[in-house]
Amino acid sequence: MKKIKPINDARKTGTDLVFSAIRQNSPTPRIDIVKQTGLSPATVTSITADLILNGLIEEVPAVKSTNYQKRGRPRVDLKIRGDAHLVVGMQLTDKMATVVIVDFDGKQISDYSLPSAKPVRSALETVDLLEKALRKSLENANLKIADISGVGIGIPGIVDGPAGYVYWSPTISDREIFLQDMLVDRLDIPVFLDNDANLVAIAEQRFGLGREARNFIVVSVEEGVGMGIVIDGKLYRGSHGCGAELGHTKVHLDGALCRCGQRGCLEAYVGDYALLREAGTALEALSGKSAELQMDILLNEAKKGNQMAASIVERAGRMFAMGLANVVNIFAPELIILAGRRMQYDYLYHDGMIAEMKKSIMQVGAPSPEVRVHKWGDLMWTMGAAAFAIDGVSEIALKDLN
Amino acid sequence: MKKIKPINDARKTGTDLVFSAIRQNSPTPRIDIVKQTGLSPATVTSITADLILNGLIEEVPAVKSTNYQKRGRPRVDLKIRGDAHLVVGMQLTDKMATVVIVDFDGKQISDYSLPSAKPVRSALETVDLLEKALRKSLENANLKIADISGVGIGIPGIVDGPAGYVYWSPTISDREIFLQDMLVDRLDIPVFLDNDANLVAIAEQRFGLGREARNFIVVSVEEGVGMGIVIDGKLYRGSHGCGAELGHTKVHLDGALCRCGQRGCLEAYVGDYALLREAGTALEALSGKSAELQMDILLNEAKKGNQMAASIVERAGRMFAMGLANVVNIFAPELIILAGRRMQYDYLYHDGMIAEMKKSIMQVGAPSPEVRVHKWGDLMWTMGAAAFAIDGVSEIALKDLN
C-alpha cells in the first residue's frame, strides 16, 4: 500500500502558524495574526500568551495605527523577543571562516573573520577551523559557547542539508563526511548545515528581496556559481536533499574544462578561475598577483576598452545569460535575485546581459520574471547561515512548547 | 500586510482526503483509508457512507486478504464507481484531434480520431475541429453531450492551464486566446485545458510509472520536446501557470534555428523537423515523402550504418543527453520518465545516451535518478487529458458534497 506522505504544513500546529506569522511581519498586532492564520481570536490570544510566558515573543507599543482606538487599552504589537536566544551564522570558504552573532530577532551583535592559508582542508582541519573561529568570535563578544542556542553553517559544494552530510566541497579534501555530527560532537550545541547558496536564498526570503515572492531563485557568482530555489515559499532540495546545481549545467557540448572534471559547465565560463585562465593570454601584467587582484585588473581593462579583456568578459556575460535563461525556461520563477560580491562589477548583470537572457526565454505574452540585483556586503552568506540557525532554534523551541 | 497564502492541501476537507485515498489505491479497504488519511475510523465510515449515497464510490468484495476474518461480515473494499460519470479526453495535434471516452474509474469506453488536412488553424477552426471530433466520437458510442460530465483537452504550446488560456500553440495561428471559454460557450459542459506534456505527467502519475514517485519529470519527444514536472506529488506550473519548457532551453550559444525563432534550442537539435532538415543532405531518397516516412527512412539508414544518417542521429542523442542532464542538475528528480512514440526508436534512449546524461550530471556519491522508458501507445496524450478531466469532474462533484 502506498502511504500518503503528510506535507509539512499540514502538520503545523497553531503555535507554529502564529509564531511564523509574527516572524514574517514583526512587529504585528494580534488582529493581523488572526487574519493571516485563519485561527480564531481566542486561539491566537491563548497561543500568544503562551509564547510570551515562554519568552519567545514580547509586546511592544503599536507602530501601526491603521485602526486608531480612541478609548480602551493602548494598542500593542507583538514581536520576536531578541533576547530569547543568541545564535551564530558561519560561512566557510577557501580563504576564511566568517562568523556573525545575532539575536533571536536577527539583530547583528558582532562579526568576525578568521583567515586560513590553506584553501583545501581535511574534514578534521575543517572542524578545527570552524571551532577556532567560533571560539574567537565569542571571546571577542564576551560570550561562552553555552550562551549560544545554535550554529548555522554554509558550506560550498554538494551538501545534504537535512542529513548534515557533505558529499563534496571544493574546500574540503575528504568526501562524503557527516560534518554536522562531527561539529555537534566537538561543540555540544545544535548545528545546522547547508549549501551556502541555499542559505543565501533563505536570507533573501527572511531579510531581503525575496520577502514578497512565493517562487524565486537566487543566483550568486563568485569563485563558483551558486543557486537556491524557493518554490511555494519553501527551499527546494530535490530528491537527495542537496538542492539545485546551476554552475554545472552544461552550456556547451564538449566545452571548456570545469573544476568538477566535466566539460562545458556554466561555471567553466563564468567563474573567477574560468576568466583568469584566459586572462593570462590577454594581459601580461597579471603574473604573480593574487586571484582577487587579477580579477580587478581584468575587469578594469575590459571596461577601459582592452579588446582581449573585453572579449573574455563579454563571453562570460553571454554564457551567464544563456544558463540563466535555461533556469527561467524550466522554472518560470516570478523573481530572479542576482546576489553577491561579483555583482559589484557590471559584467554579469548589465542591461545587455539581462536583455540577452530575456531574448533566450520563451516570449509568448507571458510576463518575463523580474530580475533584481542585490549588492550584499561581505556578510551575505554568513547572515544566510544565521537566518538558517534562527529557523532551527525556533523549531526546537516550539517543539518544546507543543 | 503580507497575507500567508493558504496551500491547497491545507484547505482539503476530510471528504477530499478520503476520496483521493480511494482513487490512489482503488479498490481499498476502509482500514487502509484510516491509516492513509490519519482520520478516525468513525469519520472515515461517515464520509464513505456519504460518498456511497451520492454514487461516487461503491463497495466491492475484498480482493486483499491480508487480515483474513474468519467470522462476521464478509469484508469489502471501496472503489471509485465507474458509472458515476463519463468523461472525455482529447488531444489536439497538427495532424488530427483524438478523443477517448472513459468512465469515472478511468476505464476506456471508446476512442476516435479525426484527421485534419490543415496543420495550423485559427482559434475558431480549432474550436470547430474539437467540437466535430467530440460529436463524432459520441455518436459512434451512442452518447450525447449531456451524458458527459467534462472534457479534458491537451494542446501543444504555452498554455496557462488554470486560466484556460493559450499564449501560443504551434497548431493555432491566433495567439493569446481564451480557448477554454470559447469551448465552454460552444459545448456547454465543463472543459479543462492544459499543455499536452503536463497531461502526460498527470497520466504517468495516475496510471503509469509515476505512481510511486513524489518528484519526477516526464519528457516526451515527438515533433517537439515536451516536459511535465511533478514536485511533491503536484504538477509544477511556475509563476504564469504554463509549467516548464525543456524544448527551448539552450544547448548552444547562437546555435541552430528553432521553430520558435530563437537559436540553439534543444528542440532545434532533436525535434523531428530538426533531424529532417539535415536528412536531405545525407539521403536523396527522401524527397516527396511524408515527414513520418522520412523519419523512418533516416532512422533505419542510421541503424544500417549510413555514416551521414548516423551522424545526424548521434548528435541529436548527445544534445538530448545534455539537455536532460541540465534538468537533472537543476531539479534532482528521483525519476525521469521518457515517454512517447519516438521512444520506439532507440536513438534517444539507448544506454549510451543515458550513460552520457549521467556523465554530465554532478557525480558526487548522491544517487543518479532512475531513468525509465515508457513506450505508450498512440493514446498516451489523450489518456492524460482524460485523467485531467477526471480530476476536474471529481473536484466539482466533491465541492457539491462539501
pLDDT, tens digit (0-9, with 9 covering 90-100), for B324-370: 999 888 888 889 998 876 666 666 667 777 788 888 776 666 677 88
pLDDT at A4 over 50: no
Question: Is B195 touching A (CB cutoff 8 A)?
Answer: no
Cα–Cα distance measured from residue B11 to residue B3, given in angstroms and rounded to the nearest whole number: 16
Q: Which helix (H) or strand (E) holds B235?
A: strand B234-235
Question: B330 and A327: CB-CB below 8 Å?
Answer: yes
Q: Would you state the pLDDT for residue B2?
A: 32
pLDDT category of residue B40 using cuts at 50, 70 and 90? confident
Cα–Cα distance measured from residue A128 to residue A153, given in angstroms and rounded to the nearest whole number: 14
- Chain A residue numbers touching B158 (CB-CB < 8 A): 362, 364, 366
The CATH code belonging to domain B8-80 is 1.10.10.10
User: Closest residue of B to A359, CA-based?
Assistant: B262
Better-scored residue on pLDDT, A345 or B90: B90
Question: Is B2 touching A (CB cutoff 8 A)?
Answer: yes
Question: Is B251 touching A (CB cutoff 8 A)?
Answer: yes
How high is the mean pLDDT of chain A? 86
Q: Is the fold of A84-201+380-401 the same as that of A247-333+341-374?
A: yes
- Kindly tell me the burial class for residue B145, based on how many C-beta atoms sit within 10 Å of its own C-beta (0-12, 13-18, 19 or more): middle
Nearest CB to B1 within list A20, A25, A37: A25
Nearest to A343 by CA among A242, A158, A208: A208
Total count of residues recorded for chain A: 402
Q: Would you state the pLDDT for residue B137?
A: 97
How many angstroms separate the CA of residue B271 from the nearest CA in chain A? 17
Residue type, B295: M
pLDDT at B248 over 60: yes
Average pLDDT over residues B30-34: 91
A10-19, A228-237, A327-336, B46-55: least confidently modelled range: A10-19
pLDDT tens for residues A41-64?
A: 998 999 999 999 999 999 999 875
**Domain coordinates of chain B in residue numbers?**
8-80, 84-202+380-401, 247-333+341-374
How many angstroms separate the CA of residue A110 from the nearest CA in chain B? 30
- Chain B residue numbers touching A1 (CB-CB < 8 A): 25, 28, 32, 35-36
Contact A183, A191 (CB under 8 A): yes
* Main-chain phi, psi angles of A261, to 5 degrees: 100, -15
Of all residues in chain B, what percent carry a pLDDT higher than 90? 45
Fold of B84-202+380-401: Nucleotidyltransferase; domain 5 (3.30.420)
Residue A311, classed as helix, strand or coil, is helix
Q: Which helix (H) or strand (E) holds A108?
A: strand A108-115
The CATH code belonging to domain A247-333+341-374 is 3.30.420.40
pLDDT tens for residues B275-296?
A: 998 888 888 878 888 888 898 8
Average pLDDT over residues A89-106: 94
Question: Is B13 touching A (CB cutoff 8 A)?
Answer: no
Q: Would you state the pLDDT for residue B4?
A: 30
pLDDT at A87 over 80: yes
Average pLDDT over residues A311-339: 89
- Put simply, the chain B residues between 271 and 330 with a CB less than 8 A from any chain A CB are 318-319, 322, 325-327, 329-330
Nearest CB to B366 within list A9, A167, A246: A167
Q: Would you state the pLDDT for residue B152?
A: 97
For every residue of B310-342, DSSP letters joined together read HHHHHHHHHHHHHHHHHHHHHH--SEEEEESGG
Question: Is B244 touching A (CB cutoff 8 A)?
Answer: yes
- Cell representation of residue A98: 566568517
Of all residues in chain A, what percent carry a pLDDT higher than 90? 45
Identify the residue whose cell numbers are 593574487. Answer: A290
- Put simply, the chain B residues between 362 and 401 with a CB less than 8 A from any chain A CB are 362, 364-367, 369
- Kindly tell me the burial class for residue B183, based on how many C-beta atoms sit within 10 Å of its own C-beta (0-12, 13-18, 19 or more): buried
The CATH code belonging to domain A84-201+380-401 is 3.30.420.40
Q: Long-range contacts for B229-237 (Cβ within 8 Å, ≥24 apart)? A: B229/A330, B229/B201, B229/B331, B229/B333, B230/B201, B230/B205, B231/A231, B231/A236, B232/A7, B233/A5, B233/B205, B234/B8, B235/B198, B235/B201, B235/B202, B236/A231, B237/A332, B237/B161, B237/B162, B237/B198
Q: Would you state the pLDDT for residue B58?
A: 95
Q: Would you state the pLDDT for residue B211?
A: 81
pLDDT at B376 over 50: yes
Question: A319 and B7: CB-CB below 8 Å?
Answer: no
Per-residue burial over A85-109, b if 16 or more Cβ lie within 10 Å, else e, is bbbbbbbbbbbebbbbbbbbbbeee
pLDDT tens for residues B98-154?
A: 999 999 998 999 999 999 999 899 999 999 999 999 999 999 999 999 999 999 999
Q: Quick one: chain B helix, strand, coil %, rounded to 5? A: 45, 20, 35
A6-10, A250-254, B225-229, B239-243: least confidently modelled range: A6-10
- Put simply, the chain B residues between 344 and 363 with a CB less than 8 A from any chain A CB are 359-362
Residue B11, classed as helix, strand or coil, is helix
**Cα A388–chain centre separation:** 8
ipTM of the complex: 0.76
Q: Would you state the pLDDT for residue A164?
A: 94
